[in-house]
A and B are shown apart, each in its own frame.
Chain A
Amino acid sequence: MFDWSMTPLGPMEAWPERLRAAADLCLRSALPAALYVGEQRILIHNDAWVELIGGEAALGRPAPDVSTSLWPIVRDLVPEVVRSGEGAFVREQSLSMVRDGSEEERWWNCHLIPVLDCDGRPLAILNQANEVTRVVSAEKRLSFQVLLADALRGADDPEAVKHSATRLLGEYLGTARVGYAEVDEATSSAWVRSDWTADPDVLSLAGQRTDLTSFGDDALAWLRSGEVLMIPDIRLLSLGAERTQAWEAVGLRALITVPLVRDGELKAMLYVHEPHARLWKRSDAAIARDVAERTWSAIERAQAEQSLRESEDHYRHTVESTPQVTWTALPSGELNRVSGRWKDWTGTTGLGSAWADGLHPEDVGRSMAAWGECLKTGKAYDIEHRLGMIGGSFRWARSRAFPRLGADGKILLWYGSTEDIHEKKVAEEHQRLLINELNHRVKNSLATVQAIAFQTLRGDTPLAEARARFEARLIALSKAHNLLTEQNWERAALERVVRDATEHLGGERRFCVSGPEVWLSPRAALALALALHELGTNAAKYGALSADCGRVEIAWTDDGGTLRLDWKEHGGPAVAAPTRRGFGSRLIEQGLGGDLGGEARIAFEADGLRCTVEAALDQIAAREGDIG
């Protein structure tokens, strides 16, 4: 038994009856209980009081003098309880206490009951205490976790997730700086994208890159093993003076670091920093680890969503900006997705069976039959058909589709595209026409050459002479072709035809050429070139050009829609009509007249041969689109 006689209370036998009863109650209480006796608040307490509150036994000492007691919690209530004689209750009051060597915040509910004497005067106050630390911290953690979950839920940006989580954790722990560092083991460095600081005076580590070796080997090995690192004061580590000072310079004395290890590799770290030494609680590490884990899953989810979104964006952009229409169809053949371009083109949705509405009516049957066949056989669809465009025109397109098969070999979906091939198709058609036309022209040219050969070689002309004539005629024809080619086979200038036909016979020295500009059709140009060749050859052999000073005058007029061309030879030998009509005169009189749709006459005038050609200009002039 405690000897109360040495205390201000004196021996217990001398206590008022009611105080003795209260003391008995206090000592027998299972809860921590104490009596504050008299004006001095002398302490009487039970064993549970010492056990739970910690510290020294303080029986018989004034409560305000005892360092480890609940007095700070109840101090302010005591005068009112004494005055009114009524009990009082305080709940969830915190008090910092050292237990198991580490300082912890602990929470208490306290009951104050006045002990009165027979006259109602206060003798003492009974304090029963109930520790509620577990409940309070569970609630605090719960509400923190709710806040955290709210902040992380629906966050779709990894940076926003980090920002919310670091701020909440920093506020909860009442710390200076919380951040998230990405680790690159390849370069052995950690990099902070952004962090949270309690106020602007605290240095932010955002943008900083740190060599992992600056953590020290022990700490690094600890982190790499996936364990939370909790350091109350870095001066206690054997980092070396230089490193320790470097860390302190950036505001770091105490820290909690949670590592993220994936596939055996350190990927990232969540850090909590204090600029002064701090005795961390185990629950601080637990909550930091909890925050780190939830944040990482939220970040990973947000990153996955972001990359999915980017991939969808990319896909949509690709689909919409490709010059083709892309579409998908169900195994039934109904289109279930068609890119917007189809509507831009045809004004129809293309969905379901409506794709047929976008086609040229003549191509619908053929296209549907081919599509039906593909649906049945699973063969790729590939067809050229015309699309009915919004403006009412039609354009050629190529549609293709390939089936995607499931594991069971059945078609899951068709992936199709429709491409505008109009220009290509039109060019192909144009080329086909051109080749046809080329074939026709070559055949006609060969027929002409055949005729020239036939006419040149018949009769009794010696072979060498016949060959020279044949070649000269072919060259005359070839020159006329050149002229026409220059003008895209649309026309040739009459003056050029005349000059080409006479150049090799002396040109301006022998020929006087005059006449207005006339553009000839290809047919007229070819006929005239051959006729002029025959006239020139004849003149050189028998006519004006066979004499030294003979000349030829070639003049034409456009006389109200009629072309009159006159070839007149001067200064040659006297002319006599030939006894026999040769190829030349036949070609001119019969052929040229026919080709020009007019008349050509040869007159054997005594002073020189004359050839006159008359033709309606509308028969021989170049016309739009005339390709001979």
Chain B
Amino acid sequence: MAERLRVLIVEDEMLVAMNIEDMLLDLGHEVAGLASRLAPALALAEEAEIDAAVLDVNLAGEQSFPVADLLDRRGIPFLFATGYGLGGIEERYRGRVVLQKPFRLADLGAALQSAIQG
């Protein structure tokens, strides 16, 4: 069993967010924050005590890459979960872990592990 992680969820579609939340709980992790818009997501990424993050790319019309930038600066691992696939990811983040929606419980677990291991 992997270690218990405090995870930030950034997702603008609440049903999906709830699902990720439940998946994380089922994987034995903790949800340390949930943001559905860019501004609160930036605030959480800057201050919250978290070990990892799951980022939706499109937040009600705004892109979440500034959140990724902040997390990178703090050295916090993250993964993208998106319906756009790789094509919607900015060039500089193409090498990162990207989950294509919809995804399975096990996919989320494996993606988190590989994000943490860098």
A91: Cβ under 8 A from any B Cβ = no
Docked pose: A595 CA to B87 CA in angstroms: 25
CB B22 to nearest CB in A, in angstroms, measures 7
Binds A, one of B12-20, B45-53, B72-80: B12-20
B71: Cβ under 8 A from any A Cβ = no
Residues of A within 8 A of B22 (CB): 454-455, 458
Q: Are B84 and A451 in contact (CB under 8 A)?
A: no
Residues of B within 8 A of A587 (CB): 14-15, 18
A447: Cβ under 8 A from any B Cβ = yes
Q: Count A/B pairs, Cβ under 8 Å.
A: 78
Residues of B within 8 A of A450 (CB): 16, 19, 102
Q: Are A443 and B101 in contact (CB under 8 A)?
A: yes
With A446-B101, A446-B102, A594-B34: A454-B19 Cβ-Cβ less than 8 Å: yes
With A451-B15, A454-B22, A592-B14: A443-B37 Cβ-Cβ less than 8 Å: no
Binds B, one of A117-125, A400-408, A433-441, A504-512: A433-441
A444: Cβ under 8 A from any B Cβ = yes
With A451-B16, A587-B15, A595-B36: A443-B102 Cβ-Cβ less than 8 Å: yes
A487: Cβ under 8 A from any B Cβ = no
CB B82 to nearest CB in A, in angstroms, measures 8
Q: Are B18 and A595 in contact (CB under 8 A)?
A: no
Residues of chain A at interface, number, CB under 8 A = 30
B116: Cβ under 8 A from any A Cβ = no
Residues of B within 8 A of A340 (CB): none
Residues of B within 8 A of A63 (CB): none
A 597-628 to B, binary, CB cutoff 8 A, 1 in contact else 0: 10000000000000000000000000000100
Docked pose: A586 CA to B25 CA in angstroms: 16
Q: Are B83 and A443 in contact (CB under 8 A)?
A: yes
Q: Are B14 and A591 in contact (CB under 8 A)?
A: yes
Q: Are A439 and B85 in contact (CB under 8 A)?
A: yes
Specify which of B12, B18, B34 is in contact with A523 (CB 8 Å cutoff).
Answer: B12
Docked pose: A458 CA to B13 CA in angstroms: 20
CB B25 to nearest CB in A, in angstroms, measures 11
Q: Are A590 and B14 in contact (CB under 8 A)?
A: yes
Residues of A within 8 A of B83 (CB): 439-444, 447
Q: Are A597 and B37 in contact (CB under 8 A)?
A: yes
A356: Cβ under 8 A from any B Cβ = no
Docked pose: A530 CA to B13 CA in angstroms: 12
A 229-240 to B, binary, CB cutoff 8 A, 1 in contact else 0: 000000000000
CB B105 to nearest CB in A, in angstroms, measures 9
Docked pose: A597 CA to B15 CA in angstroms: 14
CB A459 to nearest CB in B, in angstroms, measures 11
With A448-B16, A451-B19: A436-B87 Cβ-Cβ less than 8 Å: yes
B60: Cβ under 8 A from any A Cβ = yes
Q: Are A586 and B84 in contact (CB under 8 A)?
A: no
Q: Are B102 and A455 in contact (CB under 8 A)?
A: no
Residues of A within 8 A of B84 (CB): 436, 439-440, 443
Residues of A within 8 A of B19 (CB): 447, 450-451, 454-455
A501: Cβ under 8 A from any B Cβ = no
Q: Are A595 and B13 in contact (CB under 8 A)?
A: yes
Residues of B within 8 A of A454 (CB): 19, 22-23
B 1-41 to A, binary, CB cutoff 8 A, 1 in contact else 0: 00000000000111111110011000000000010110000
B88: Cβ under 8 A from any A Cβ = yes
Q: Are A447 and B102 in contact (CB under 8 A)?
A: yes
Specify which of A436, A439, A446, A451 is in contact with B18 (CB 8 Å cutoff).
Answer: A451
B95: Cβ under 8 A from any A Cβ = no
CB A598 to nearest CB in B, in angstroms, measures 11
Specify which of B12, B18, B85 is in contact with A590 (CB 8 Å cutoff).
Answer: B18
User: Which among A444, A590, A626 has the highest number of chain B CB atoms within 10 Å?
Assistant: A444
CB A592 to nearest CB in B, in angstroms, measures 7
Docked pose: A285 CA to B107 CA in angstroms: 109
Q: Are A440 and B88 in contact (CB under 8 A)?
A: yes
Please provide the chain A residues from 516 to 550 with a CB less than 8 Å away from any CB of chain B in the complex.
523, 527, 530
Q: Are A594 and B16 in contact (CB under 8 A)?
A: no
B61: Cβ under 8 A from any A Cβ = yes
Specify which of B12, B18, B23 is in contact with A586 (CB 8 Å cutoff).
Answer: B18
With A447-B83, A454-B19, A587-B18: A594-B100 Cβ-Cβ less than 8 Å: no
Docked pose: A447 CA to B84 CA in angstroms: 12
Docked pose: A485 CA to B101 CA in angstroms: 23
A78: Cβ under 8 A from any B Cβ = no
A452: Cβ under 8 A from any B Cβ = yes
Residues of B within 8 A of A523 (CB): 12-13, 60
Specify which of B15, B17, B87 is in contact with A452 (CB 8 Å cutoff).
Answer: B15
Docked pose: A443 CA to B100 CA in angstroms: 8
CB A617 to nearest CB in B, in angstroms, measures 15
CB A156 to nearest CB in B, in angstroms, measures 66
Residues of B within 8 A of A440 (CB): 83-84, 88
Docked pose: A530 CA to B22 CA in angstroms: 19
CB B69 to nearest CB in A, in angstroms, measures 23
A523: nearest chain-B partner, CB-CB: B60
Please provide the chain A residues from 409 to 443 with a CB less than 8 Å away from any CB of chain B in the complex.
436, 439-443
Docked pose: A450 CA to B16 CA in angstroms: 8
Docked pose: A305 CA to B41 CA in angstroms: 82
A440: nearest chain-B partner, CB-CB: B83
Q: Are B15 and A530 in contact (CB under 8 A)?
A: yes
Q: Are A448 and B87 in contact (CB under 8 A)?
A: no
CB B71 to nearest CB in A, in angstroms, measures 21
B17: nearest chain-A partner, CB-CB: A594
User: Which among A447, A449, A458, A593 has the highest number of chain B CB atoms within 10 Å?
Assistant: A447
Residues of A within 8 A of B101 (CB): 443-444, 446-447
User: Which among A446, A454, A592 has the highest number of chain B CB atoms within 10 Å?
Assistant: A454
Residues of B within 8 A of A530 (CB): 15
Residue contacts A-B, CB under 8 angstroms, 19 given: A439-B83, A440-B83, A444-B13, A447-B13, A447-B19, A447-B83, A447-B102, A448-B15, A450-B19, A450-B102, A451-B19, A454-B19, A455-B15, A455-B18, A455-B22, A523-B12, A527-B14, A587-B14, A591-B18
> Which 4 A-B pairs rank lowest in CB-CB distance, beginning with the nearest?
A443-B83, A591-B14, A451-B19, A594-B14
Chain A residues packing against B (C-beta within 8 Å): 436, 439-444, 446-452, 454-455, 458, 523, 527, 530, 586-587, 590-595, 597, 626
